Structure 1
């Protein structure tokens, strides 16, 4: 992941030009999921912003690090040029690593060797600096699995040591991106490059909830006019969840979707962006973009897999109830 910090008295004013969140009213050590938007209303990346006492701590996708940094640097240069005497600095945290520790026993497990912190008082989307078994860390109660868990910032020098210590706990196991991907899909969470991209708007992606009320009123973030107009008019396409039968092949990204069982251009209404067999549900699930007229929950749609059509039903998301520690 790309980790960086913004410093200076203008850090909130600057970042709010780039994201849709109400950063100003975040409590100290609070965090929020938000979006970098572009001038056309598209999504440059999704990210988590945490408010430290003296800085904004930002974590975004490693796959978007070059694009994110270029965007930040260009926008910062423009901000400083148009705001003479502004106080703003950025530090890329190349010396820090990030570990994800997720699951129903994550808090119970990490609490055992955590110094001076009661995790019962650390709610979802809040962070704290502490020490785990002698290793200084920043612990944020968040993650991208739908489960309770933590993202742990640690120095590069101590990252392997910390991972080894966590894996010494009897319930701990290594998990790869395949496991993460099935969990985030069950949780109805978007993956950048699959379910959201530079041409997808937050409204099409059903991420309007990330746009804070104050930000809608002020409308001073990149692409605000386009995004807020689409919110008012309703989008022509919309991200949906799909659930298929227990039998039959799962759909993957890029499968065509038809409004009935006749496979022709007239009936083509969208395509899938993510899909897999759900380990928790025992059914095939997917996310997709379809014409809004076909997005009502319960609607039967037909997905193409290797030249054949299979029936799916539009479903509410998350597919599996999330278990965040609220």
Structure 2
């Protein structure tokens, strides 16, 4: 596996912790540890899980006009982002499809970007292609990224770095701890309170071990990360959003700045404006199957009369809700909460209904 796959700076630690490694986005990544996915999921909800997300792409945009340049590719309002704050955004293609979703932070004097592992080879050249003279994109392959998530996460790391306790959701702190230059955001992709920490790669293992020594912290893998984000109703690129899906269809209009929706000066604006005015043909919705049988990605969705009306994009068992949960796209006429659906699972039709997301309450530090 390691002959063809990249490894993160925490590869040795995963081995020591008994991580079961699988290929993911070109990397060898831990899907779970000996405790198992369900235990890791529930422990993160109750205390704190430590996730290696170093496969993600990190970069910084430097130079006057960096925010305006990035807005050539996204409808997010980057120029209004204050120092010490972070924002979720979407990179769009000319047709209004989603090239990727990303995080952007204003660290004061530069923008810090985190993009998806499977898309960084596309995102970074795309961003570089729109930069004016005086603005430069600097990839940061020499940094690891660690997510500490759960109700005990911030209290734990604040015993090391007290400033983190004062951050609100999407707040960012940059500083030096024991000689290490860190960038820490109060954010994550589990629906829980927590932090994501950018740390120099050579110090990542020692830093992760320090975090694992905090009260209530246990390692968690990709399996728990996926079930946590699904319960929280959060999109996974390549499953729930892709280059053919618009922000309107994906129910991500909230990520588009008000100023940007007045100017309509971003890629795919004509399509998106039309969908906002007239309604899209399909919408991403939450889906609750009846019974205990999960409906996985690519499961066909039918109306009660048998007509095919959509497709499941993410699905599985939700440990916190103690039942199956899913997301998918259905034609707009069947997208209202409570709408009856039939899911074709292993040749049988299972009843389901459209349900609001998140399936489990998000507990961000507002």
TM range (shorter): over 0.9
The TM-score normalised by the length of structure 1 is 0.93
> 1:224: how far off?
1.4
Please tell me whether the aligned partners of residues 297 and 316 of structure 1 are also in contact (alpha carbons under 8 angstroms): yes
Aligned counterpart, 1:59: 114
Residue in 2 aligned with 1:9? Answer: 64
- Post-superposition CA distance 1:78-101 (Å, at most 9, x none): xx4xxxxx3211111111111111
1:227 paired to 2:267: no
User: Which runs of 5 or more structure 1 residues have no equivalent in the other structure?
Assistant: 81-85
Residues of 2 paired with 1:133 and 1:241: CA distance? Answer: 44
Residue matched to 1:291: 331
- Secondary structure of the residue that 2:230 maps to in structure 1? helix
2:190 equivalent to 1:182: no
Whether 1:90 and 2:134 are equivalent positions in the alignment is: no
Whether the 8 Å contact between 1:167 and 1:173 is mirrored in structure 2 is yes
**Partners in 1 of 2:102 and 2:339 — Cα distance?**
32
Residue 74 of structure 1: which of 129, 146, 149 is its match? 129
**Residue 205, structure 1, aligned to residue 258, structure 2:** no
Structure 2: unaligned runs, 5 residues or longer: 1-55
2:303 paired residue among 253, 256, 259: 259
Shift of 1:134: 5.5
Partner of 2:316: 276
**Please, what TM-score do these two structures have when normalized by structure 2?**
0.83
- Residue aligning to 1:239: 284
Measure the CA separation in 1 of the matches of 2:231 and 2:177: 31
Cα deviation digits, residues 120-146 of structure 1 (max 9, x gap)? 420011101134465431110000000
Matched-pair contact (CA < 8 Å) for 1:237–1:292: yes
Maintained 8 Å contact 1:246/1:282: no
Contact kept, 8 Å, 2:128 with 2:136, in 1: the verdict is: no
Kindly state the Cα deviation for residue 57 of structure 1 after the two structures are TM-superposed.
Answer: 0.7
RMSD of Structure 2 on Structure 1 (CA): 1.3
